[in-house]
């Protein structure tokens, strides 16, 4: 074995040991990929699509045709959640709708929220006369543990250039003040990963609120994920614990290193 190959083997072993040692308790508590209608959430007024431009549903699964949402990309699988002009009279007629996910988080800590998000009304491709989001439009992700304080996790809001509150671009609202100031969303869904949810408890409610009442005030998201770490319980004494695993693996690496060196000698 060459010295280069030998070093690469060592590096791989160390990396593997680190991964086993430090990530062994990570778990996915929720992954909603919107690939079917076996829903992990409830919708405040149900899902709808009026066969025109107005929708609040899984696309294209529930009949949404191109080009309205076909313009989106960067989602996973074949489907994603889409919303556009959600106060449509053929739907519930209300400009604000909420998806609610209720999860059992007993035995987990260090909860993290992740998801893919996009917006179709920012006129980035020059396919419209203007961007379309008003000051009251937006998408807000919040969380609540055991009915306690509601935490703001991720907001997207219209910017308000010079106090203009009508038909502007949708940006991330990094300080949760209702005005977009951060990353510009596009029809290519962008990943927002590992946003911390503070606290411990037994039940987590995750809310995705969408507000919009006019054409092309559109939103898309996919792969809504909650991850956490299992709270440790004492392991059997004859199996290395997670905290001792790196030491255990280091001993293996040292032994292998000696074997390789002895062979080279």
Which residues make up the interface to Ca ion (CB under 5 A)? 33-34, 76-77, 79, 85, 87, 132, 134, 167, 173, 175, 177, 179, 181, 213-214, 222
* CB closer to Ca ion, 125 vs 175: 175
In the chain, how long is the greatest CA-to-CA distance? 82
**Measured torsion, CA atoms of residues 173, 132, 140, 219, in degrees rounded to the nearest 10:** -120
* CB closer to Ca ion, 77 vs 235: 77
How far apart, in Å, do the first and last CA atoms of the chain sit?
A: 12
* CB closer to Ca ion, 63 vs 77: 77
Shortest distance in whole angstroms from residue 207 CB to Ca ion: 19
Shortest distance in whole angstroms from residue 143 CB to Ca ion: 19
Name the phi and psi angles at 217, rounded to 5.
Answer: -80, 75
Residue with smallest beta-carbon separation from Ca ion: 77
Dist CA 15 CA 22 (whole Å) = 11
Going by C-beta distance under 8 Å and a sequence separation of 6 or more, which residues neighbour residue 148?
199, 201
* CB closer to Ca ion, 90 vs 194: 90
Going by C-beta distance under 8 Å and a sequence separation of 6 or more, which residues neighbour residue 216?
53, 84, 85, 120, 121, 128, 132
Dist CA 156 CA 190 (whole Å) = 12
Shortest distance in whole angstroms from residue 244 CB to Ca ion: 40
* CB closer to Ca ion, 34 vs 49: 34
Shortest distance in whole angstroms from residue 16 CB to Ca ion: 30
Shortest distance in whole angstroms from residue 109 CB to Ca ion: 28
């Amino acid at each position: 074995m060459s010295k280069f190959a030998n070093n690469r083997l060592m590096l791989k072993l160390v990396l593997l040991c680190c991964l086993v040692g430090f990530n062994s308790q990570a778990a996915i508590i929720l992954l909603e990929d919107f690939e079917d209608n076996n829903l992990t959430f409830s919708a405040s007024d149900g899902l709808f699509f009026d066969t025109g431009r107005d929708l609040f549903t899984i696309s294209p699964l529930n009949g949404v045709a191109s080009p309205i949402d076909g313009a989106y990309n960067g989602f996973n699988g074949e489907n994603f959640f889409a919303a556009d002009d959600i106060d449509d009279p053929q739907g519930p007629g209300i400009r604000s709708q909420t998806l609610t996910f209720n999860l059992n988080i007993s035995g987990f800590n260090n909860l993290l929220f992740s998801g893919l998000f996009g917006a179709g009304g920012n006129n980035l491709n020059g396919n419209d006369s203007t961007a379309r989001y008003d000051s009251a439009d937006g998408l807000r992700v919040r969380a609540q543990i055991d009915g306690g304080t509601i935490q703001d996790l991720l907001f997207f809001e219209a910017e308000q250039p010079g106090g203009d509150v009508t038909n502007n671009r949708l940006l991330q609202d990094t300080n949760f003040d209702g005005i977009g100031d951060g990353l510009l969303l596009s029809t290519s869904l962008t990943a927002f990963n590992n946003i911390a949810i503070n606290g411990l408890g037994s039940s987590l409610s995750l809310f995705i609120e969408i507000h919009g009442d006019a054409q092309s005030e559109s939103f898309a998201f996919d792969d809504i994920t909650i991850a956490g770490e299992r709270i440790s319980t004492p392991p059997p004494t004859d199996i290395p614990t997670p905290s001792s695993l790196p030491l255990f693996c280091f001993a293996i690496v040292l032994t292998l290193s000696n074997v390789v060196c002895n062979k080279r000698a």
